Chains A and B, each alone.
Chain A
Amino acid sequence: MEDFLTQLTSKYNFWAYIVLMMVGLYAMIAKGNLIKKLIGLSIFQTAIMLFYVAIGSKAGATIPILRDHTLKGVIDFVEYINPLPHVLMLTAIVVSVATLGVALALVLRVYDVHQTLEEDEILEKIKNP
């Protein structure tokens, strides 16, 4: 039990990311409105991005921009945060807004055909047109 409590306090960030991810997953499964589903998708994406960036954090390190731009002196890798997850997630954010645009275009098309955004009403209209 004590072991569990120390884990809870030392890794509370990971707990929060898992909760966020599950909020997004729940919205994608249970909500009937198409735009609500897209919001859930975005929440899920950002939770995974948070997890990636959190993996690369270092205690006592600073942002990944070099302090003095000279070639003299040794750069110690302990002083700077790992830049690799930042690069991966930066491109992922831009791609997520592009895919959100395509998804909203599809939602507009669905609304043009069925005049509703609710999943159950759309299914009803497909069944008996």
Chain B
Amino acid sequence: MKKTALLAVILTGALLILSMENFPSWGDVQSPASLHLSRHFIEKSYEQTLTPNLVTAVLGDYRGFDTMLETVVVFTAALACFLVIRLPRDVCTPGLFYYRHTRTGLVVRKHDACELPGENPTFERVDSDWPPHDVVVVSTCRMVIPFIQLFGLYVVAHGHYSPGGGFQGGVIFAASYVLLAVSHDLRTLVHRLNERVTHLLSAAGVLLFFGVGLFGMAMGLNFLDYGALEGVLGMSLASGHSLGILLVEIGVGMTVTAALVIIFKLLSSRGTVTEGL
């Protein structure tokens, strides 16, 4: 098996290398890929969208339809993850449950804890397969996480002028929640951002994107034509496009944040969303 695989791989690689003389040479200004459409993007996009970052302009405006469906893909992935591994909420799985007395630090073990004690201030639940929490890690992460989230918002809002945008900002925002789950525990994350909120947020991002598109249709223009914002807000055509790109990026950021948090919650807890990494 391994020898056949190696043979097939070497054969494919040799064929690809043979075809390499047809590639444009490295860094060729006149290569076909950078002549026709990209020339128009580079020369015209600033006067049409007022966005110095060409990547954001192309992503949000010229290829808006593509980006919208990519957002739908991310949303669908979160949905698929949910449908594949989420367990029903009211199943009482037998096993061991551990509680820590908050004053003394004593850990109590309990079998068959189907009726979990709810909001009990003297006992808190701890994970059965994870060591007790570390004060240094917890307090460092508590201080760092707000700054990470602020940076995520900055990246979304500043995507017009510097590298960044909805995808990157959304991922940084999701990473801050992953850090919260790793440093504290998964129940803290679920307490802050429960499942209802993440599901609504992931759908709301896609709907915001669709909404901006439908607004263009409602004003008598094409789908996703941000020129519609110009007439309503009384701004120039180019700043209407710039505002449209910002709205769309916020939608993308919401969906990406929520989808990645959903996937992490489900994977790290094997679908129960009670104990996790």
- A residues contacting B by CB (< 8 A) are 7, 10-11, 13-15, 18-19, 21-22, 25-26, 29-30, 54-61, 64-66, 69, 71, 74-78, 80, 82-87, 90-91, 93-95, 97-99, 101-102, 104-106, 108-109, 112
Contacts and interface: CB of A to CB of B under 8 A. Distances in A.
Contacts of A109: 84-85
Contacts of A97: 260
Interface in B35-57: 37-39, 41-43, 46-47, 50, 52-55, 57
A85 B33 contact: yes
B177 interface: no
Nearest to B271: A108
Nearest to B84: A105
Given A11-B20, A94-B70, A105-B267, 12 more contacts: A7-B21, A21-B13, A30-B5, A56-B33, A58-B34, A75-B42, A75-B43, A87-B58, A98-B263, A101-B77, A101-B260, A105-B84
B90 interface: no
Given A90-B167, A104-B267, A19 B58 contact: no
A10 B25 CA distance: 7
A40 to B, nearest CB: 11
B27 interface: yes
Nearest to A9: B26
Contacts of B24: 55
Interface in B162-221: 162-163, 167, 171
A106 B84 CA distance: 7
Q: Is the interface of B mostly helix, strand, loop or mixed?
A: helix
A121 to B, nearest CB: 15
Give the interface residue-count category, chain B.
35 or more
B149 interface: no
B256 interface: yes
A18 B1 contact: no
A93 to B, nearest CB: 8
Nearest to B58: A87
What 4 A-B pairs are tightest by C-beta distance, nearest first? Answer: A59-B27, A98-B77, A101-B263, A30-B5
A58 B24 CA distance: 11
Given A19-B13, A91-B67, A94-B167, A59 B59 contact: no
Specify which of A25, A29, A105 lies most central, judged by the most chain B CB atoms within 10 Å of its CB: A105
B132 to A, nearest CB: 26
Contacts of B52: 65-66, 69
Nearest to A71: B47
B66 interface: yes
A71 B46 contact: yes
A8 to B, nearest CB: 10
